[in-house]
Every structure is written in structure tokens, then in C-alpha cells.
């Protein structure tokens, strides 16, 4: 089912990406995030006395032959990550460019979410998804494995862009499910201040938040050469502007707004990348999760 959203070429470009949280948390299970938990892992840590219930394969039989006592090898265990992908599904996410009217912000968000889920699956992590709008809250609680991926993909493909940003009461189930130390990927156009406020609240509550802002190429370039009526998809507000004469002021306002957003998110420790609809989706993912020379692996 993920093949509907991830082409073979895109999948190949994901090979060197990893979901790397800034702060690793010890947890039970296997994953690729360093922790101080003890258990079955790859790097030897210490011996301990055998206890009922331990698997026989973990007994060091050579040590038993020398000491006539049973010892179990413990290792530093890599802890799994809980990834939550929160997708803005408000009406503004139906926006697209004239050059590619079928490729909306929501379509790009689905693909970005699918890529993040594939990375989590590859790493042995748990993952869940949620759609954010005034529609009834739709989510898939975090779990791991191929079946969980398929459940998430099915949900992603079902979502439609409509409504407005949900009120705080509608988001309460998120706080029950998104545990502290989870990695939260928020996919939104970031035009609604309430979306940014949610990211800040999650970060303040010890969730690690990264945000990808989705914009059209026309929003980036403002290429219009005639008069245009711009309509807010969520409020219905309209603005009439002459393209050539408004372009310079618009581009400056956009640059100022993006710098303000970046500074505001950075103050809460939130990483930001921007995805434009005419770019490959892995560009933004690479900015957030690409391997950097000399970077730590956890």
C-alpha cells in the first residue's frame, strides 16, 4: 500500500536517512537509538546471574564450563523511538499550483508521512498518525511492524482537506497517546497560529517536535502577471491584487514571516524545514534527518 505514495526512486533516496532524536530515551525493545537500558542488543555490557525465565541461548556456556555457574550476557540495548506524524488536514491543505492542480499540500503531506513511517519501520520503531482539523479526530495509535504501516497508510489515503484547525478540547486524545520523549513530526502550512501553539505546547511537555511547512511554488515565487483574487479557503476572506505590482512586497512579507516562524520555533527547540510542492519530498526530510559528517548516531 505504501507504493501508492512512495515511488521506487524516492525509496532509494531514503536509504541514508535516519530518524535521529536529539535526546535518546531508554525504553524496552529493539531499535536504533542509543539508551542505557540493559537487555538483548548488539554490544556486550556485562554478565549477571541466570534467573528463571531467561532464554537458554543467552547463557554463556563457555563461562559455565569454567565456573560451573550460569551467567547471562547482557548488552547495551538500543531503544525504540515512538514517532507520531501529525497532519494538518484543514481546508487550506487542498491548495495546489496551477501547473499541477492534482498535487495538493495534503498529497505532499501524505507522502512525507509515508516516508517517515518507512524510516521508522526500517529502524524497528513504533509509529502512529493523526489528522488535525475540525473533522472528528482521526488517529492510529502508535505501534510497530508492517501491519501497523498498512493501517497508517490506509488512514492517510482516507483523509480529506476540509474544515478548520481543531479547538484544544478536540486535541485532548493526543495528549493521552503521544507519550513524553516521543518524536513528533508536524506537517502543516503553518498559517494558523494555533498549529504553531500546539507545536510549542508539545515541545514544552517534553515531546521532541520537528515541523515541515508545506508551501506551493506559487507562494514561494508569486509568478502572477495579472490581477488575481486570493481567497482564504478556511475563512472565505478575499484579497484582490495586481500580480506584478504586489510581487515585491509579498516576497518581502513572506521572507519576514518565515524568519519569524523559524525564530519562534527555535526558541522552543523545534526544528523546521520547508517543503515546496515542486520539489522532491526527501529534500525537507534530508534537511531534518540527513546524516551529517561527524554527527553522532544517537
Closest CA to 76 of 49, 48, 36, 47: 36
Confidence of residue 143 (pLDDT cuts 50, 70, 90): very high
Residues 207 and 154 in one domain: yes
Same domain membership, residue 242 and residue 147: yes
Mean pLDDT of all residues belonging to the chain: 86
Same-domain check for residues 69 and 187: no
Whether 50 maps to a domain, the answer reads yes
> Residue 293: inside a domain, yes or no?
no
- Beta strands per DSSP E along the chain: 38-39, 43-49, 71-76, 82-88, 126-132, 138-143, 183-188, 208-215, 227-231, 238-242, 271-276
* % of the chain residues with pLDDT over 90: 65
Indicate whether 244 belongs to any domain: yes
- Whether residue 115 sits in one domain with residue 53: no
Residues 223 and 114 grouped into a single domain: yes
Residue at 292 is within a domain:
no
Distance CA 113, CA 84 (A): 9
pLDDT at 97: 97
Tell me: the pLDDT tens digits for 8-38? 999 999 988 998 777 544 444 444 554 444 3
Determine, yes or no, domain membership for 159.
yes
* Residue 187 shares a structural domain with residue 269: yes
CA 97 to chain CA centroid, Å, is 24
Specify the number of domains making up the chain. Answer: 2
Residue with cell 542488543: 41
Could you tell me if residue 12 is inside a domain? yes
Let me know whether 125 and 189 are in one domain: yes
Residue 229 included in any domain: yes
Q: What is the pTM of this model?
A: 0.80
pLDDT tens readout for residues 190-236? 999 999 999 999 999 999 999 999 999 999 999 999 988 888 888 88
Q: Pick the range with the lowest mean pLDDT from 50-54, 82-86, 123-127, 242-246.
A: 50-54
Q: Are residues 115 and 257 in the same domain?
A: yes
Residues 101 and 225 in one domain: yes
Q: Where are any strands of DSSP class E within 37-182?
A: 38-39, 43-49, 71-76, 82-88, 126-132, 138-143
- Confidence band (pLDDT; 50, 70, 90) for 52? low
Do 17 and 63 belong to one domain?
no
Domain limits at 66?
38-76
Contact at 8 Å (CB) between 140 and 152?
Answer: yes
Residue 235 shares a structural domain with residue 131: yes
CATH of the domain at 215: 3.40.50.410
Distance between CA atoms of residues 149 and 128, nearest Å: 9
Helix (H, G, I), strand (E, B) or coil at 273: strand
Helix (H) and strand (E) counts in the chain = 9, 11
Q: Are residues 7 and 133 in the same domain?
A: yes
Amino acid at each position: 500500500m505504501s507504493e501508492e505514495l512512495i515511488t521506487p526512486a524516492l525509496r532509494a533516496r531514503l536509504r541514508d536517512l535516519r530518524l535521529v532524536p536529539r535526546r535518546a530515551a531508554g525504553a524496552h525493545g529493539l531499535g536504533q537509538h542509543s539508551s542505557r537500558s540493559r537487555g538483548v542488543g548488539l554490544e556486550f555490557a556485562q554478565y549477571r546471574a541466570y534467573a528463571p525465565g531467561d532464554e537458554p541461548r543467552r547463557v554463556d556456556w563457555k563461562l559455565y564450563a569454567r565456573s560451573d555457574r550460569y551467567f547471562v550476557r547482557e548488552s547495551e540495548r538500543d531503544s525504540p523511538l515512538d514517532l507520531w506524524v501529525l497532519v494538518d488536514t484543514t481546508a487550506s491543505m487542498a491548495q495546489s499550483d496551477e501547473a499541477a492542480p492534482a498535487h495538493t499540500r495534503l498529497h505532499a503531506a501524505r507522502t512525507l508521512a509515508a516516508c517517515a513511517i518507512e524510516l521508522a519501520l526500517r529502524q524497528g520503531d513504533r509509529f502512529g498518525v493523526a489528522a488535525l482539523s475540525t473533522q472528528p479526530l482521526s488517529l492510529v495509535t502508535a505501534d510497530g511492524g508492517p501491519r501497523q504501516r498498512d493501517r497508517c497508510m490506509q488512514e492517510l489515503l482516507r483523509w480529506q482537506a476540509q474544515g478548520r484547525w481543531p479547538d484544544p478540547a478536540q486535541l485532548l486524545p493526543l495528549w493521552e497517546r503521544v507519550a513524553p520523549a516521543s518524536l513528533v513530526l508536524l506537517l502543516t502550512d503553518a498559517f494558523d497560529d494555533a498549529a504553531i501553539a500546539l507545536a510549542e505546547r508539545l515541545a514544552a511537555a517534553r515531546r521532541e517536535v520537528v515541523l515541515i511547512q508545506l508551501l506551493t511554488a506559487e507562494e514561494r515565487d508569486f509568478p502572477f502577471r495579472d490581477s488575481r483574487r486570493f481567497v482564504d479557503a478556511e475563512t472565505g476572506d478575499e484579497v484582490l491584487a495586481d500580480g506584478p505590482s504586489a510581487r515585491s512586497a509579498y516576497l518581502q512579507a513572506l521572507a519576514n514571516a518565515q524568519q519569524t516562524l523559524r525564530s519562534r520555533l527555535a526558541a522552543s527547540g523545534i526544528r523546521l524545514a520547508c517543503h515546496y510542492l515542486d520539489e522532491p519530498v526527501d529534500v525537507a526530510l534530508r534537511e531534518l534527518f540527513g546524516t551529517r559528517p561527524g554527527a553522532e548516531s544517537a
